[in-house]
Amino acid sequence: MSRTKLRILFLDFKYEVLCKMQAESESFMGLINKEKVLRGVGKAVDAANNAADKAAAFAKEKELDKKAKNMAHTLEDGIKSAGESLENLFKN
């Protein structure tokens, strides 16, 4: 069999498989109640929004931003000090 015939047979087979898969997925999607899906998605979005609101309130309440900035400054000072110590060590 030539390459062209094989390619045509393969494409025909691929097309048939895709058509069957599409038909099966359409029949399956018909069984799903779209309203229930939309309600479920809406509930998931509401839950995510509530979690984000709670996290923002917690961060604000605990002043996490200020604590993180103070920690970063402390770390920066420590790194500078260590760098100066190493510099002095290798100078001598």
φ, ψ of residue 36 to 5 degrees: the values are: -65, -40
64: number of CA atoms within 13 Å, CB side?
Answer: 7
Question: Quick one: pLDDT at residue 26?
Answer: 63
Tell me what the mean pLDDT of segment 8-29 comes to. 71
Question: Quick one: pLDDT at residue 2?
Answer: 67
* pLDDT-based confidence at residue 67 (cuts at 50, 70, 90): confident
* pLDDT-based confidence at residue 32 (cuts at 50, 70, 90): low
pTM of the shown model: 0.37
Q: Are 59 and 65 in contact (CB under 8 A)?
A: yes
